[in-house]
Amino acid sequence: MKLSAISDVHIKSSGDQAEILLLSFLRSPDVQSSDMIFLLGDIFDLMIGPHTQYFVRFQNYFKEIESLISSGKKIYYVEGNHDFHIRELYRKFFKVHKNLDSSLFQMASKFEFIDSGKKYYLCHGDDIELNNPRYKIYKSIVTSSPLSFYANKLMPHFLIKNIGEYSSNKSRKRNNKRYSQESDLQPVKDNFRNSAESLFKKTNFDILVCGHSHVKDHYVSNLGFEYVNNGYAQHTQSYISIVDGIISFKPIF
CATH number at residue 74: 3.60.21.10
Number of domains the chain contains: 1
Residue 11's pLDDT band (cuts 50, 70, 90): very high
Tell me the per-residue pLDDT of 235-249, one tens digit each, with 9 for 90 and over: 999 999 999 999 999
Q: Do the Cβ atoms of 129 and 195 come closer than 8 Å?
A: yes
φ and ψ at residue 231, rounded to 5 degrees: 75, -165
Say what the pTM is: 0.92
Mean pLDDT for all residues in the chain: 92
Average pLDDT over residues 180-200: 89
How many Å apart are CA 70 and CA 77, to the nearest integer? 17
Q: Examine the pLDDT at 218 and tell me if it is beyond 90.
A: yes
Provide the β-strand partners of residue 111.
122
How many Å apart are CA 195 and CA 212, to the nearest integer? 12
How many Å apart are CA 224 and CA 92, to the nearest integer? 42
Q: Do the Cβ atoms of 74 and 115 come closer than 8 Å?
A: no
Q: How many CB atoms lie within 10 A of CB 72?
A: 8
Q: In terms of residue numbers, what domain contains 226?
A: 2-251
Burial 16-49 (b: 16+ CB within 10 A, else e): eebbebbbebbebeebeebebbbbbbbbbbbbbb
Q: Do the Cβ atoms of 39 and 27 come closer than 8 Å?
A: no
Q: Do the Cβ atoms of 251 and 27 come closer than 8 Å?
A: no
Tell me the per-residue pLDDT of 126-176, one tens digit each, with 9 for 90 and over: 999 999 999 989 888 888 898 788 888 888 887 777 765 655 555 555 555
